[in-house]
Every structure is written in C-alpha cells, then in structure tokens.
Amino acid sequence: MSRLRAPAIILALFVLDRASKAWVLESLYGRSVAVLPWFRLTYAENTGVAFGMFRDSNLFFLVFGAALVAALLFLRRRIERHGALAAAGLALVLGGALGNIYDRIAYGYVLDFFDFTFFPAVFNVADSGITVGAALLALGMKDEKGK
C-alpha cells in the first residue's frame, strides 16, 4: 500500500464517522426511527465499550484508546510489512479509533446509532471500521503457513 493510501483511508473513515454522527445529533437526538422491520437508527450515548459494557468508564477508555492508537502507530511499519491487507486493516482500526476518541473528548461518550434488531448492540461507523479493520489486520498478519 502506498504511503498516501493509509492516511487517506484513516481520514475518509474519520470524516464519514463525523458526518454521520453530526447528522444523528441534528436529526435523531433522543429518538429511534425504524428504517426496515429489522433495522433502526437509534440515538445512543455509550460511556462504555461494545454492548454497553463497563458503562461510565469514559476516561479509562479514552486513555486506553489513545494508548492503543500510539502503540499501533509505533508498530505501523512492522505491520505494513505484512502487505496491503494488514496495512488497510491498520488504517481502518486507526480511523475508527480516532472517531470514537473524538466523541469521548467532545461529548464524554461515544455516539452510536446503527441498531439491528437481531444484534444485541447499537454501534456506529467508527465501530464498523474497527471491526472490519481488525479482521483484515488478523488475516493480513497470518504467515504463508496459515499460523
């Protein structure tokens, strides 16, 4: 992956996350709207982590998130040596983490809004980037023997 692609992915995910959350704050504050029978857009303030675990731990997860970003940036070159898949995964994780860190600093919580009725958690664009990025990172880090 070229030196410009990773920053572009990080920036694109961050901007998409910010734009979606700005729309949610403007249009859905405190509400839930059915889009499909199995999908809602639901305004949710999350001071914990995935699935609402460890509520009211915003400061801890702000510090943890910042430390994780710093560690990943420190390991960036080593990770990128594993190829484009790992590099893209790293960029998605970083973009998502920065989006959620922004929320924790600006609002004191992470704003979530994707609500699938069959899934136990409400999540956001940044969370999606982190999840897909972690999967790509894991796949990209595997060696040729599949270890």
Q: List the Cα angle 103/31/22 in 5-degree steps.
A: 35
Residue 146 and residue 143: Cα distance in Å, rounded?
6
Pairing of the two strands 122-123 and 39-46: unpaired
- Whether the Cβ atoms of residue 122 and residue 44 lie closer than 8 Å to each other: yes
The residue type of 25 is L
Q: Residue 55 contacts by C-beta under 8 Å, 6 or more apart in sequence?
A: 46, 47, 48
Q: List the Cα angle 63/68/74 in 5-degree steps.
A: 125
Token pair 């894991």 in the structure block, residue: 138
Positions annotated as catalytic residues are: 112, 127
Q: Which DSSP letter does residue 41 get?
A: E
